[in-house]
């Protein structure tokens, strides 16, 4: 329950409200390793602690990379951090994206907004081990073109012949020439074999619901659709009770779940 002190090595803006922190441990000898999809509890001194997914490459766990959208007091305090500041880190916690079981299958990654951050480690993994997988599709939607994360990398991925990248925005602004509409609209056209696909989905809860619907419509079994859930968390380790979702604790049993486990609960309101 005691955070490890890390120091901010670099901090930079991704969009108007989203930024990335690169953190180095004060005691590097203790090391750090994580699996794609796991999260840390980040403690902004005096302000609070929040769960944030790790958005870096699992093979290069340090510096630790977190991409965060400033939405409230704690995330805003994280945004104010400067190079050299201290930050508390507990983790990594939670389950990870099924990059190992997905070997031999097509992989579809569907992200909405900040949801791309927790998925990036999975992307790094499958692209590095490209030969282990069938087709790879990344479908990404944001509200406007200026909300798009990791734009340089997106360009690189777009340029690759061994993966398919679909990008869309809810509202076109500026010189946007690409798709307009919700990300679920990209699913029907995406190249993958529904009967041999693992899908990984992260975004707002409502977007995930519709994405799962579209995927199942195409024939992907729900047990092969993985989503990352979000709930209030105070401890991150199953002791505080806040993140309960039906019979599970999202911090230990999640955040990444095969969707069929959640189906009975997602149908009900206010679980």
Ligand X SMILES: Cc1cc2nc3c(=O)[nH]c(=O)nc-3n(C[C@H](O)[C@H](O)[C@H](O)COP(=O)(O)OP(=O)(O)OC[C@H]3O[C@@H](n4cnc5c(N)ncnc54)[C@H](O)[C@@H]3O)c2cc1C
Query: What residues make contact with other proteins under the rule CB under 8 A?
Result: 1-3, 5, 43, 45-49, 71-73, 76-77, 86-88, 230-232, 234-235, 237-242, 244, 246-249, 252, 264, 268-271
Nearest approach in angstroms of CB 258 to other proteins is 16
CB 152 within 8 A of CB 247: no
Which of 50, 119, 137, 198 is the binder for ligand X (CB under 6 A)?
50
Q: Name which of ligand X, other proteins, ligand SF4, none residue 255 binds, using a CB cut-off of 5 to 8 Å depending on partner kind.
A: ligand X
Nearest approach in angstroms of CB 118 to ligand X is 5
Residue with tokens 């951050």: 117
Q: Which is nearer to other proteins, 87 or 208 (CB)?
A: 87
Q: Name which of other proteins, ligand SF4, ligand X, none residue 17 binds, using a CB cut-off of 5 to 8 Å depending on partner kind.
A: none
Which of these segments, 69-77, 132-140, 165-173, 263-271, binds ligand X (CB under 6 A)? 69-77
Annotate each residue in 114-143 with x if it binds ligand X (CB under 6 A) or - if it does not, as one string: x--xx-------------------------
255: left (phi over 0), alpha (psi -120 to 50) or beta: alpha
Rounded to 10 deg, the angle between the 116-128 and 151-159 helix axes is 40
Which of 241, 246, 263, 271 is the binder for ligand SF4 (CB under 6 A)?
241
Q: Is 201 in the site for ligand X (CB under 6 A)?
A: no
Compute the distance between CA of residue 141 and CA of residue 180 in angstroms, rounded to an integer.
9
Burial of 56 (0-12, 13-18, 19+ CB in 10 A): buried
Q: Which residues bind ligand X (CB under 6 A)?
A: 39, 48, 50-53, 67-69, 71-75, 114, 117-118, 230-233, 255
């Amino acid at each position: 329950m005691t955070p490890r002190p890390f120091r901010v090595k670099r901090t930079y803006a991704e969009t108007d409200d989203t930024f990335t922190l690169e953190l180095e441990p004060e005691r590097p000898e203790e090391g750090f390793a994580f699996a794609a999809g796991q999260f840390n509890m980040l403690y902004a001194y005096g302000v609070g602690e929040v769960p944030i997914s790790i958005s870096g490459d699992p093979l290069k766990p340090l510096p630790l990379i977190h991409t965060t959208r400033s939405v409230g007091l704690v995330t805003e305090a994280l945004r104010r951090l400067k190079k050299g500041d201290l930050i508390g880190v507990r983790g990594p916690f939670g389950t990870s994206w099924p990059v190992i079981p997905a070997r031999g299958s097509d992989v579809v990654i569907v992200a909405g907004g900040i949801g791309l951050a927790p998925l990036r480690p999975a992307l790094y993994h499958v692209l590095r081990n490209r030969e282990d997988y069938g087709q790879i599709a990344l479908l990404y939607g944001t509200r406007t073109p200026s909300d798009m994360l990791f734009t340089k990398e997106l360009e690189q991925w777009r340029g690759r012949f061994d993966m398919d990248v679909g990008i869309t925005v809810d509202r076109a602004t500026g010189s946007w020439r690409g798709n307009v509409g919700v990300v679920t609209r990209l699913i029907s056209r995406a190249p993958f074999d529904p009967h041999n696909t693992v899908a990984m989905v992260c975004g707002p809860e409502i977007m995930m619901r519709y994405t799962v619907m579209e995927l199942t419509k195409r024939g992907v079994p729900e047990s092969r659709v993985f989503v990352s859930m979000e709930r209030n968390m105070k401890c991150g380790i199953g002791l505080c009770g806040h993140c309960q979702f039906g019979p599970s604790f999202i911090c230990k049993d999640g955040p990444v779940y095969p969707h069929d486990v959640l189906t009975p609960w997602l149908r009900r309101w206010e679980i």
